[in-house]
A and B are shown apart, each in its own frame.
Chain A
Amino acid sequence: MKTAADLKVNETAIIKRIDRSHPSYRRLLEIGFTPGQEITLLNRTLFNDPISFSIRGTIFAIRKEEASHIFI
């Protein structure tokens, strides 16, 4: 299944679900990464990790490991 970590720069997708077993699951929901929400991958840096996303008018940098538990 495709995850947010697979997006290309400037590619937009809708969040399907977030892996419930991940320790950051709750925090991701709380900051607005909710199913049905649109996210856009904005930047990948030299190390390709963390990755920045735009969601609900805010930009967040999250580690690739976390992004790979956000299913799109």
Chain B
Amino acid sequence: MNYTETENKIPLIAIAGQPNSGKTTLFNLLSGRNSKTVNYPGSTVEYSVAPLLPKFSLKAKVIDSPGIISLVPSSIDEKISIDTLYSHPELGKPDVIIVTVDASQLSRHLFIALQLIESKFKIVVVLTMTDLLLKKNFNISAKKLSETLKCDVVKLDNRTGNGVNEIVKSVNKILVSSHNVSEVHFHSHPSFDKDDLLLNSYDAIGQIEKDVLYKVQSQLSETELLKANEKLVVLNSEPAFLKPDELTLKLDRIFLHKFWGLIIFFIVMFILFSSIFYVAAPIMDLVSEGISLLSGYTVTLLGDTWYGNLISQGVINGVGSVLVFLPQILILFLLLGLFEDSGYLARGAMLIDKPLSLIGLNGRSFVPMLSGFACAIPAIMATRTIPNRRERLLTIFIIPLMSCSARLPVYALLIAFLIPADKPVLGGLVLTFIYVISVFSSVLIASIIHKIVSKYSRRKDSSFILELPAYRKPKLSNVIRNSYRNARHYIVKAGPVILMLSLLIWVLTYFPNTEPQVDETGKTADEIILLKNSERVATSFAADLGKMIEPVMKPLGLDWRVGVSLIAAFAAREVFVSSLALIFKVTDDGDLQNSILSSMRNATFRDSDQKVFTISSTAGLIVFFVFALQCISTLAISRKETGSWKVPMVQLFVFTLLAYIAALITVTGFRFFGMA
């Protein structure tokens, strides 16, 4: 008999368990592909929800919750994961909880199962990683464990999925039996926070472990072992004492080696970084080219009208600025998934934790910060692997200071202005210096915030307790699914904000003078369009804004036209170059950079023949770009990952102010030394 839905209530099955206990593998086996990600209201904690696959002929929803160590939370995020188990505001409380228990780490993983039983949840225990247990020459009796815990216990083969039908059967049994029973009452606040109880439950677990684990001989093959030793229970001889996986211990001697460990770490990080930097680049170019082709085609189709431009410049380019980050996000999450799944990422975090802990960060902050040098968007998304909320927020905060690849075209132009083309080494030196300032300032700012926060905060919760899971072959399907989920999530959650903000910038640079009058005599159609575009920007709202902020730009030795380009560059930093070209009426005659450069050399202020771009003002502009958060996509993703506009607004304010002050100091310094 199957449980049938009544009163429109579809039963809810929650999967709970310690981190790395095989929850997601089980979730994928139960739900297939069509899961969606949901947030706990008002938080950034996410989990997947999906209907059970039709083949199980049981109508139910499954949710996969983040790993929890105990029902007593030790962080805000953990509290939310636990609250979800008790009752999710939208999904209700789960009817059954499936607890995944890593059989090769039985005692630690039984801990949460016991807490759930004591809270009067209906649970099914799923034993995972039994292959690892066999490797350690132990086996486990599911029957005995089931008798002791008084709930169904099922062994699941992670690779083949054997056992998943039994799990569904057990779930169904509970649903049927509890169907007619009145409301199940949970202890909403279990008294687990007493230390003695905690120690007692570990004593009880120790006893259970002795009863259900038994030693097997290692010479036989796995299937033979299973058959021959199912009855051969060794009791009393010696307590079952689990040791970590032998291969893992050997590999750790290399990967965590004082010298080689760090070398390998840097090689791995180099591969990761160059993939998001160089491998993603051609794909990103392809996306950009596709978008600009489409955009150009739309203008030809709809004509140079305001709606034609709305579709081509506003909407299509806006969608483009969402899509252009996808290659990097996919590549980063694919590699991160592979390194995480294989067990290496935790080691990397351990290797680099010490120096980062000094500035209030965590070993897990390294990968996101490094990724920030390619692009802040995937980097901020990657901070999800940092368990401690404060350390995660601090990492997100400083990521925009990492010199991302979108700044390169700007630096290239400005350095080309400063340094003669026959001195490439000097140009290289300046670029290196920019990266050094970027690293140095982020370290400085992180440590200042860390100092302030630790001075005023009562709770000292910076801890680094990290499980180093056994090395294993990554499961590619899980990794791919996870990157796909992240990418989709980015498009759904951050995409609309990025699109709206790009549209806003388009409005600012397009209106109100939509039909500018230009002298058309003796000019080709393309030249006329270019002139019109240029005139339109020069008379746009953005230009008004640019003129409004001119008093602020003056001390930096810059005029309103640079101000407009800075405003336009909020869409993406590299837009600064094209926007500068537009406003200085530069025609692209094959060598855009040189054309802009000569326009820049000739540009003078409105009311005098004083040059705008000098050594000092250009150097100041470079410094401005080092610090300024000139990127709406970063703001959008920061809002998504921190759960509110608070952090991105503080970032915008602090980094803009910092950029301005630093640029001002640079300009004044250069002038002081006679390099106006």
Interface residues of A, Cβ cutoff 8 Å to B:
20, 23-24, 26-32, 34-35, 38, 42-50, 52, 54, 56-63, 66
Of residues A35, A45, A54, which shows the largest number of chain B Cβ atoms within 10 Å of its Cβ? A45
> With A23-B459, A50-B350 as given contacts, are A56 and B105 in contact (CB-CB < 8 Å)?
yes
Q: How far is the CB of A38 from chain B (nearest CB, A)?
A: 8
Q: How far apart sit A54 and B465, CA to CA, in the bound complex (Å)?
A: 13
Among B8-16, B51-59, B258-266, B624-632, the one that faces the other chain is: B258-266
Q: How far apart sit A6 and B202, CA to CA, in the bound complex (Å)?
A: 26
Of residues A27, A30, A35, A46, which shows the largest number of chain B Cβ atoms within 10 Å of its Cβ? A30
Q: Is the CB of A52 within 8 A of B195?
A: no
Q: Is the CB of A54 within 8 A of B244?
A: yes
The listed residue (B202, B252, B464) touching A63 by CB distance below 8 A is B464
The listed residue (A20, A46, A50, A62) touching B258 by CB distance below 8 A is A46
Is B460 interfacial (CB 8 A cutoff)?
yes
With a cutoff of 8 Å between Cβ atoms, the chain A residues found around residue B459 in the complex are 23
Q: How far is the CB of A61 from chain B (nearest CB, A)?
A: 4
Q: Is the CB of B248 within 8 A of A59?
A: yes
With a cutoff of 8 Å between Cβ atoms, the chain A residues found around residue B389 in the complex are none
Total contacting residues, chain B, CB less than 8 A: 49
Is B547 interfacial (CB 8 A cutoff)?
no
Q: How far apart sit A43 and B193, CA to CA, in the bound complex (Å)?
A: 32
The listed residue (B259, B350, B357) touching A52 by CB distance below 8 A is B350
Is B353 interfacial (CB 8 A cutoff)?
yes
With a cutoff of 8 Å between Cβ atoms, the chain B residues found around residue A24 in the complex are 463, 465
**Can you report 7 residue pairs joining A to B where beta carbons are below 8 Å apart?**
A20-B195, A28-B465, A50-B350, A56-B107, A57-B106, A57-B108, A57-B244
Q: How far is the CB of B508 from chain A (nearest CB, A)?
A: 49
Q: Is the CB of B252 within 8 A of A30?
A: no
Q: Is the CB of A31 within 8 A of B460?
A: no
For chain B, residues 191 to 206, give those with C-beta under 8 angstroms from any C-beta of chain A. Answer: 193, 195, 198-199, 202
Q: How far apart sit A49 and B352, CA to CA, in the bound complex (Å)?
A: 9
Q: Is the CB of A58 within 8 A of B464?
A: no
Is B235 interfacial (CB 8 A cutoff)?
no
Q: How far is the CB of B108 from chain A (nearest CB, A)?
A: 5
Interface residues of B, Cβ cutoff 8 Å to A:
69-70, 72, 74, 104-108, 111, 136, 193, 195, 198-199, 202, 241-244, 248-249, 252-253, 256, 258-259, 261-262, 346, 349-351, 353-355, 357, 363, 459-461, 463-470
Q: How far apart sit A22 and B508, CA to CA, in the bound complex (Å)?
A: 55
Q: Is the CB of B72 within 8 A of A29?
A: no
Q: How far is the CB of B318 from chain A (nearest CB, A)?
A: 44
Q: Is the CB of B464 within 8 A of A43?
A: no
The listed residue (B70, B350, B461) touching A45 by CB distance below 8 A is B350
Q: Is the CB of B468 within 8 A of A52?
A: yes
The listed residue (B70, B104, B261, B469) touching A46 by CB distance below 8 A is B261
Q: Is the CB of A23 within 8 A of B107?
A: no
Please give 16 more A-B residue pairs, beta carbons under 8 A apart, in addition to A30-B70, A49-B354. Answer: A26-B72, A26-B193, A27-B74, A27-B465, A31-B69, A43-B256, A47-B354, A47-B355, A50-B350, A50-B353, A50-B363, A59-B467, A61-B349, A61-B350, A61-B464, A66-B464
Among all A-B residue pairs, the 9 with the closest Cβ atoms? A57-B242, A47-B354, A59-B468, A43-B256, A61-B350, A30-B70, A32-B108, A63-B464, A61-B466
Q: How far apart sit A67 and B83, CA to CA, in the bound complex (Å)?
A: 31
Of residues B70, B249, B259, B463, which shows the largest number of chain A Cβ atoms within 10 Å of its Cβ? B463
Q: How far is the CB of A60 from chain B (nearest CB, A)?
A: 6
Q: How far is the CB of A2 from chain B (nearest CB, A)?
A: 21
With a cutoff of 8 Å between Cβ atoms, the chain B residues found around residue A46 in the complex are 258-259, 261-262, 351
> With A26-B195, A45-B261, A61-B346 as given contacts, are A66 and B465 in contact (CB-CB < 8 Å)?
yes
Q: How far is the CB of A30 from chain B (nearest CB, A)?
A: 4
B71 to A, closest residue via Cβ: A30
A37 to B, closest residue via Cβ: B202
> With A24-B465, A45-B258, A57-B244 as given contacts, are A50 and B354 in contact (CB-CB < 8 Å)?
yes
Q: How far apart sit A39 and B440, CA to CA, in the bound complex (Å)?
A: 40
With a cutoff of 8 Å between Cβ atoms, the chain A residues found around residue B350 in the complex are 45, 50, 52, 61
Q: Is the CB of A60 within 8 A of B259?
A: no
Q: How far is the CB of A54 from chain B (nearest CB, A)?
A: 5
Q: How far apart sit A10 and B350, CA to CA, in the bound complex (Å)?
A: 18
Q: Is the CB of A60 within 8 A of B463?
A: no
Q: How far apart sit A26 and B166, CA to CA, in the bound complex (Å)?
A: 36
With a cutoff of 8 Å between Cβ atoms, the chain B residues found around residue A62 in the complex are 463-466
Q: How far apart sit A46 and B639, CA to CA, in the bound complex (Å)?
A: 37
Q: How far apart sit A46 and B354, CA to CA, in the bound complex (Å)?
A: 9
Q: Is the CB of B354 within 8 A of A57?
A: no
B460 to A, closest residue via Cβ: A23
B112 to A, closest residue via Cβ: A30
Q: How far is the CB of B457 from chain A (nearest CB, A)?
A: 12
With a cutoff of 8 Å between Cβ atoms, the chain B residues found around residue A49 in the complex are 353-354
Q: Is the CB of A60 within 8 A of B466?
A: yes
Q: Is the CB of B256 within 8 A of A45?
A: yes
Q: Is the CB of B242 within 8 A of A56?
A: yes
Q: Is the CB of A60 within 8 A of B261?
A: no
A18 to B, closest residue via Cβ: B195
Q: How far apart sit A40 and B308, CA to CA, in the bound complex (Å)?
A: 70
B349 to A, closest residue via Cβ: A61
With a cutoff of 8 Å between Cβ atoms, the chain B residues found around residue A54 in the complex are 243-244, 249
B465 to A, closest residue via Cβ: A62
B138 to A, closest residue via Cβ: A57
Q: How far apart sit A70 and B465, CA to CA, in the bound complex (Å)?
A: 13
With a cutoff of 8 Å between Cβ atoms, the chain A residues found around residue B104 in the complex are 57
